[in-house]
Amino acid sequence: MNASFDPQTVAAVVALGLLCRWLLALWYNTVNLPPGPTGLPFLGNVHQIPLQYPHKTLYEWGQRYGDIIHARLFQKHVLVLDSTKAAEDLLDKRAAKYSDRPHFTLLEDLLQWKPLMVFMSQGETFRLHRKWYQSFLENRQSLRTYESMQQREVDSLLLALLESPENVAYHLKRFTGSLMLEIAYGYTETSEKDAYIRLASETITQSLEAGTLVASLVDFFPILLYLPHWFPGGGFKSNAMKLHGRVWQIMESPFRYVQQAIACSTARPSFTSFMIDQTAKEGQLAEEDELNIKGAAILMYSGGTDTTNTALLTLLLAIALHPEVLRKAQAEIDEKIGPSRLPTLEDRASLPYVECIVKEAYRWNPVLPAGIPHQLREDDEYRGYHIPRGSMVISNIWAMTRDSATYPDSDSFLPERHLPSRGGPICRDPKSIVFGFGRRICPGRFLADSSVWLIAANLLATFDIMNARHPNGDVITPENAFLSGAVSHPKPFICTIRPRNKAYTEMITQRSTSSLAI
């Protein structure tokens, strides 16, 4: 007996089946989720997350719902981790699942910040870049080779502070820029180097600030890429195109500089020159290899400048606000080092209070307060909760450094909290938090940390840092405040910096002269 089916009936059955499957998937992805604020249809919780200081709102949610929080940004599931325990359990111990990245349409497709490992999904290219960074930034032998560069740039910084202490913010920025230019590209020409540092700094800052509301929506609705630039809200495309040209310039110009130096046999050792030598075949680079080296080098530079500079400015602000911390540090340095020389990295273990100051600066103002989002590769369960595949995972580092159980009186700057207590546990080292987690941990953390410590020790040893004064003698107290953004920059402030005595002035001048002669 032959059966015949009405096409409309078949279509209806198929449609019903697809609808059931969709409803089942929807139910599966919404049942037993971690607790969180109730959202609106379509918008989710977008309207509840402010554009300014969102990490503070996520911290408040953590106080209400617990240390793992579920939210939605439109149709995107978001998992917020407000505790170190949750971050370590998921991002460290389950790194294979939690080490992907969401796609950053604005930064990658419009501004063309690629290929940068910080934005890559897991895969062959990610593993290649990670291997390169491990060789140059996590290898003990490589780190030792950078110490002479660090010391030379510190000597140059101290001399600049003698000559124009009012420009301290610029001098700190120039220190980090000069150091990373030499490591990444072997760049040494002073005038060209300064011009590049200014251009790169402006481009990086503007890229981070480019996320207007409409531009940010592009990450969730890539169709907005096709919005005409003249259409209301489409102006972000024109701005992005202008900025894209500068991104291309700061990626291209130092790479060509290295290539030319190699051709003239004048190239200094650097990450880029080494990678060109290792990758080129018969003197030629494949287009893909060239692109990968450019991306890896610019990330090495950009990732090591703005964040390190922010940590240094945070430390300077804390010292200006807490003169008693400066006095304790100087007493320790005078006792352990003496007045006849300046601190080196070899002195680090013998200056525990200076170490505590650096740790507390990391904790007091984590440079990346909300980290950089991870993305979950497959469905997971944690503490009995369902976490859907594709969820964006935010490690709220600011909340972790405000954990009152670990850091009592967490809003205060208290270096002493990091000293071992008699019979009690040592306060958790903030370095295990602020540099990220899992396979996405910052590969330049050792170089950045040693640079921050070296500057801190030398600055504290040689200069007095105090509040500035108005012409009428009134004290100008810096504001204990930080700008909102992906990077938590201190609000611009002024302070007075002057050498402790004539002997240190002469020592700085002599050392700087010797460094320049090398």
3-state secondary structure of 272: helix
Q: Tally Cβ neighbours within 10 Å of residue 390.
A: 16
CB 160 within 8 A of CB 513: no
CB 80 within 8 A of CB 68: yes
CB 303 within 8 A of CB 310: no
- Binding site: residue ranges? 442
CB 468 within 8 A of CB 492: no
Q: How far apart are the C-alpha atoms of 146 and 343, rounded to whole Å?
A: 16
- For 162-178, letters b (16+ CB in 10 Å) and e give beebeebbebbbbbbbb
- Binding site for heme: residue ranges? 442
Q: Tally Cβ neighbours within 10 Å of residue 7.
A: 7
CB 193 within 8 A of CB 174: no
Report the DSSP pairing between strands 76-81 and 392-395. Answer: parallel
Structure-block tokens of residue 517: 């002669």
Structure-block tokens of residue 336: 């352990």
CB 341 within 8 A of CB 334: no
Handedness of CA 51, 55, 58, 59 (dihedral sign): negative
CB 427 within 8 A of CB 417: yes
CB 385 within 8 A of CB 402: no
